[in-house]
Each structure stands twice: as C-alpha cells, then as structure tokens.
Structure 1
Amino acid sequence: MALAPEIVVSRWFNTSEPLTLSSLRGRPVLLHAFQMLCPGCVAHGTPQTQRAFDLFRHSDLQVVGLHTVFEHHAAMTPVSLEAFIHEYRLTFPIGVDEAVEGVSMPATMERYGMQGTPTSILIGRNGNIVHHGFGQQSDMALGAIIAAELAAPRG
C-alpha cells in the first residue's frame, strides 16, 4: 500500500477549517472525487458519499468531497458548485481541487492518478491508500471496506 499524497484544495465548503490528510492521520478518510456535471457522480457517487457520511457519522471516519474539474471548466465555477451543494443537500466537507496553470487535470487528481469521476479512495489510519475505485461501486462493497478499516486495530 502506498502513502496517500496530500490533497491540494483552493477552496472549501461545509467546513470552517481547511482539511489536510496530515492533520487527519490516525483517522480513516473517504475521499470522493466528483464533478457536478458528471452523470455517474450525480446519480450514484455523490449520493453514495452522502449516505456514507450519514451512516458513519458516529465513527471517526472523515468523509471529504473533492470537486475535481478536468473538463467544462467555465461551467463548473465555485458559485455553481455552491448551488449544487445546496440543491443536493450535501453536508460533508467539499474542497475544490487546485487547478494547474496550462494543464486540464487538477493537482490532486494528477497526484492520485485518477482515471476520471466518480472516484472513491479510502485512506487508512496510517495514511496508506486502502482502496482506489473508479466508476460506480456497490454501496455494500464500499461499506464493507470502510467498516473493515474502522474495525482494524489502531496504531
């Protein structure tokens, strides 16, 4: 298992403080990369992430959304994202993946070698990547992976 690279975020929603993986070390982190104009994200990935956030809210799992725009840049602004978050009633912290000048792929997406959206990445308590899934994933399978990580011995 590889150590998860730090996320690079230009703006945060649904959190008063910026989140970093280094500050979350010791807690499992579910990182959900999405785009608001991605049909698979809207129909499945983002609602699944909200369900995981709600289901595991009393555990030490930290759910983090990452709006990672690699196409239709002009349409997916922070103002549009704010409306999307409100309309879909998303309550987990969401960061905007940092754009890289002259490159279509944002910084965190590049660091993780993501193929597209939706992508769900589970980072273990030790900071290592436990799961890296692209596309639609079963709620049961993702829930089982999260539960196994939550049940793993600390330290």
Structure 2
Amino acid sequence: MSMKKWLAIIILFSFFAYMLWEHMTERQTIATGIHVGMKAPDFSLQTTDGQMVQLSQLRGKAVIVNFWATWCPPCRAEMPDMQKFYERYDQQVEILAVNVMVRDSQEKVREFIKEYHLTFPVVLDVDGHVMKQYDIQPIPTSFIIDRQGIIREKQIGPMSYEQMVQYVEKWGK
C-alpha cells in the first residue's frame, strides 16, 4: 500500500475514534445530571429574613422545590396557585421557593412576597450554586420530592393548583 493510502486510513480511523469518544462522553454527561428517581441533592439557603433552610431537614414531608424569579411572567402566574395549595396542604407538603437572583435583589423578592402574600419559605440562591446543582435552564422549574428525599417529578414551566394536588396525592402520602 502506498503512503497516501496509509495516511488516509490513519486519518479516517482517528476521525471515527474521536467521534466515538465524543458520543460516549456526551452520553455519560447526560446520565449524570439530576433526574427523577435519584436522591435530591441537599442544599442550605437563607430566607429574606436571614433564616437558614436546609432541604434535608424537611425530610418526612413531601417537598416542592420551585425555582423562580420576580421578573418571570410564568413564575408570577403560578404563585397564587402555589399559595392556595400551601394553605390547603401545608401539613403534608412543604414548598421551598428558590429565587434564582438573576436580575433580582433581596428588596424585589421581599416586595414580591408581600404582593403575593406568600407564607411558604422563599430562599435566595444568591450565587446561583443551587441553580447549577439542579441544572436549571428555563424557569419556573419545580421538583417534587417524596418523604424519603427522592425526586419523583420534574415540572418545567408553571404548575397549576390541580397539578400540585395530583402530585401530592401521588407522592405526598
């Protein structure tokens, strides 16, 4: 075989080996993200009044972890339903609203809490660490976590009152 053919074979082999490696690396990355059925990663964040809330301390109750922002129209739309749900089911389910602090300030969050009369815990992800940990892209995004701390549902987009009720009936018992 000529040198040109050997060089072409080596280049083709290298190309296919690289493509295979890329494909395997991509699949590995996808498999290691946050997904339904895994234990919810623990985190601690402060509320607007300085109290620390740790997700693992809520074990024993189902938890809705909701990632949101004050400037997000779908987030604003779901908050009245979330408050209504919390008033009805607060003995069975905890809501933990994680403000992602993108273009938000503590003062804006405090005003939002007052405007919507929110009584469930609202915590501040000031540096975006928890947002990254949970791989949040669009907001709102919510995770339904069962009493044992296992992620049972992931909801991208706003949740209605009816959806929250369905989730608690399925995972909150």
Q: TM-score when scaled to structure 2? A: 0.72
Amino acid in structure 1 at the alignment position of 2:93:
L
More helix by share: 2
- Match 1:12 to one of 24, 47, 51: 47
Q: Which runs of 5+ in 2 are unaligned?
A: 1-36
Bigger RCO of structures 1 and 2 (CA < 8 A, at least 6 apart) = 1
Which of structure 1's runs of 4+ aligned residues deviate more than 3 A?
none
SS for the counterpart of 2:43 is coil
Task: Name the Cα RMSD after superposition.
Answer: 1.8
- Does the 8 A contact of 2:62 with 2:146 survive in 1? yes
SS for the counterpart of 2:76 is helix
The equivalent residue for 1:55 is: 88
Taking the aligned partners of 1:53 and 1:118, their CA distance within structure 2 comes to 17
The equivalent residue for 1:134 is: 156
Q: TM-score when scaled to structure 1? A: 0.80
SS for the counterpart of 2:64 is strand
Who wins on radius of gyration, i.e. which is larger?
A: 2
Q: Which runs of 5+ in 1 are unaligned?
A: 100-105
Report matched runs for 1:1-155 at 5 Å.
1-9=37-45, 11-13=46-48, 17-43=51-77, 45-57=78-90, 59-70=91-102, 72=103, 76-99=104-127, 106-151=128-173
- Does the 8 A contact of 1:33 with 1:67 survive in 2? yes
Taking the aligned partners of 2:146 and 2:47, their CA distance within structure 1 comes to 22
Cα distance per residue 1:60-87 (max 9 Å; x no partner):
31111110133x3xxx110111111111
